[in-house]
Structure 1
Amino acid sequence: MSQSNEMVKIACHALSEKKAEDVRIIDISEISPIADYFVIASGANANQLQAMVDAVDEELTKAGYTAKQVEGNRNSSWILMDYNDIVVHVFSKEDRLFYDLERIWTDGKKVELEDILAE
């Protein structure tokens, strides 16, 4: 399993532990130099968003991966966590619909978590 795939697996597991909604993985490795994958997830309220961010950071840090940059804070409705190989986007439902990253990045490949786990 590649490092990127391992990171996606860890991030998705952390998100699911915090009941993240509508988790999506987009492979952008062939269309952008910024990362291999985007992981996009929604939460119901600010507390859940923060819990999701904390869980992802804690689990990836335990596995030896450090965020290069985090944009957003406890009051944000979109928090971006850049781990070089993957970028995790945690959204409120409203902001996710508004920014619609899945539409913007339609050139990327939608990936199922099962496919990542199988590699």
Structure 2
Amino acid sequence: MAEMTTKEYVKIAVDALEDKKANDIRIIDIHEISVIADYFIICDGASASQVHALADNLEEKLAKAGKGAHKTEGYGQGTWILEDYGDIIVHIFQTEEREFYDLERMWMDGKIIEDVKSL
């Protein structure tokens, strides 16, 4: 079986987040402006329980596809969980934390992917 592309993994990640009703999923292509990753995926959940469910489902679905997280941070508190998959970094916030940190503004030089199907 051929190895999946980064774009295919992004689609799996978005599907996993949608499965658990993530709010306002944003994909930002940062490969031209940063060396830390190719894509950021940013979303939020209404509570720590939902944020944990989002992170758990994401990790499970990507692991089944053959992509394990290099590092996970913030899981204990559940206000902002960062899952680093190397070329994809996923930020899962509680809504208030997302508004406070406003990563979309910080990375506005990246290309917003409006529709995951267009990848």
* Structure 2 unaligned spans of 5+: none
C-alpha distance in structure 1 between counterparts of 2:95 and 2:6, whole Å: 26
1:74 CA drift (Å): 3.5
What does residue 118 of structure 2 align with?
115
With structure 2 as the length reference, what TM-score do the two structures score?
A: 0.93
Question: What is the number of equivalent residue pairs in this alignment?
Answer: 115
C-alpha distance in structure 1 between counterparts of 2:68 and 2:10, whole Å: 14
What does residue 101 of structure 1 align with?
103
What does residue 50 of structure 2 align with?
48
1:5-20 pair list within 5 angstroms = 5-20=7-22
* Structure 1 unaligned spans of 5+: none
What does residue 60 of structure 1 align with?
62
C-alpha distance in structure 2 between counterparts of 1:21 and 1:30, whole Å: 26
Instruction: Describe the superposition over 1:61-111 as per-residue Cα deviations: whole angstroms up to 9, x where unpaired.
Output: 000001111111142300000000100000000000000000000110000
What does residue 30 of structure 1 align with?
32
C-alpha distance in structure 2 between counterparts of 1:102 and 1:3, whole Å: 24
8 Å CA contact 1:77, 1:91 repeated in 2: yes
User: What is the RMSD computed on CA atoms of the aligned residues?
Assistant: 1.0
1:4 CA drift (Å): 1.3
Matched-pair identity in %: 54
